Amino acid sequence: MAGPTPIPMPETALAISGLTVAYGSVPVVATVSARFPKGSMTAVMGPNGAGKSTLLKAALGLIPAVTGEVRAFGDPVARSMPRIAYVPQRAAVDWEFPARVIDVVQMGLYRRTGLFGRLTPGLRSEAMAQLDRLGMADFATRQIGALSGGQQQRVFLARALAQGADLVILDEPFAGVDAATEAAIISVLHGLRAEGRTIIAVHHDLSTVTAYFDRVLLMNRRAIAEGPTASTFRRAAVAEAYGHQLLTAIPA
């Protein structure tokens, strides 16, 4: 924007407007707009193939969008990147990679070390503290392939914490993890929210949405409903997103 007073939207952590993403000629995300207020914790929900992961990856510029604009903290997302952390699906990486748990967490410090910077004792202990926050301090020198799925997810979250980001975006953080890990992750995420940080997570478990998240974005290629969980996570909207399979557990 060239104007002398760009319109700031400080209350919005992430604003997606009219985002369209296509694989080949098939649109997987069709003109989706969504706003994620600062300090909120939003579940992105929808059936398999609804384009949830694609939406978030395109919002971060990891895959190209056809059209649309994405702003984070009022700035184009590329400029706000240092304030954003992204936790991919666990299956996105090769866990046989020769790295220890602490090495992965330290990758979250790259913006502060850069090419040449030394990993100072201060930075090292910071990485350890993030591991400790997720109950993983004892595993610091373990090879990452020797971890369980839940432990791997915790390591990924610790790497995101090490970045000190104000906006944390997670792709299915609870997929294939045990109850203890789920509880550990959710308590850390709620802690982040209490610090005023913003959380966006692709989520699949309809039964825990209300307990975990204060906002919901329901989508199926297009955005279907968006807003506070209590008023948005309703039978009609969920049925529309999931294709009218009757969901009696959800308030009408």
Partner 1 sequence: MLDAVLNALILNAGYNAALVGLGAALLGLAAGCTGAFVTLRRRALTSDAMAHATLPGIAVAFLLMAAAGGDGRNLAGLMIGAGLSAVLGLAWLDSLSRTRLPEDAAIGATLASFYGAGIVLMTVIQNLALGRPAGLDSVLLGSTAGMLRGDAITLAIGAALTLGLLLLLRRPLIMTAFDPGHARLMGVNTDLTDRALLLLTLACVLLGLHVVGLILIVALLIIPALAARLWSDRMETVALLAGAIGAVAGYLGAALSVALPDLPTGPAIVLITFTAFALSALIAPRKGILAQTVARARLRRAAISGRR
Token digits for 158? 């610790």
CB of 29 to partner 1, least distance (A): 17
Token digits for 190? 């709620």
CB of 140 to partner 1, least distance (A): 13
Nearer to partner 1, 107 or 180 (CB): 107
Nearer to partner 1, 107 or 230 (CB): 107
Query: Which residue ranges make up the site for partner 1 (CB under 8 A)?
Result: 57, 60-62, 81-82, 84-86, 88, 92-94, 97-100, 103-104, 107-108, 110-111, 113, 115, 143, 159, 163
Nearer to partner 1, 8 or 61 (CB): 61
CB of 54 to partner 1, least distance (A): 13
CB of 171 to partner 1, least distance (A): 10
Nearer to partner 1, 62 or 180 (CB): 62
CB of 120 to partner 1, least distance (A): 15
Instruction: List phi, psi (to 5°) of 9.
Output: -125, 70
Nearer to partner 1, 111 or 190 (CB): 111
Residue that the structure tokens 């090490």 belong to: 162
Q: 201 - beta bridge partners?
A: 43, 170
